[in-house]
Amino acid sequence: MQISINVDCTPDEARRFLGLPDVAPMQEAMMSEVQKRMMENLGAMDPEALLKTWLPLGLEGLEKMQKAFWSQMTAPRAPREGPKPEREKPGPRT
């Protein structure tokens, strides 16, 4: 035996029927607070402030990082120790 029940109601009606609290006012208050904080923090998004945050030493720090990178990339490598492994010669194909 199989029974199916279809309920046609809005989410607000279902919430009230199940006795759940109305969180719409709290959600609106939280969203307005988030929007206010985001608008306050947009002042810190000017390019000069971002560069000071990302590069505290300015361009000198970036140049030092580039020099360190290039010195590591162009440094001569030490030769491998020991004999090189011999490659197997390909045998006849069958």
Q: Please answer whether residues 7 and 15 qualify as being in contact, where contact means their C-beta atoms are separated by less than 8 angstroms.
A: no
b/e 1-20 (16+ beta carbons within 10 angstroms → b): eeeeeeeeeeeeeeeeeeee
What is the pTM assigned to this prediction? 0.39
Say what the pLDDT of residue 29 is.
96
- Reported as a single tens digit per residue, the pLDDT across 66-84 is 888 888 888 777 666 766 6
Write down the pLDDT at residue 75: 78
C-beta separation of 22 from 15 below 8 A: yes
Report the C-alpha gap between 47 and 52 in whole angstroms. 9
The predicted structure's pLDDT at residue 33:
96
Question: What is the model's pLDDT at position 83?
Answer: 67
- Give the C-alpha separation, 30 to 81, whole Å: 66
Average pLDDT per block of 10 residues along the chain, 94 residues long: 92 91 93 92 74 70 82 77 68 67
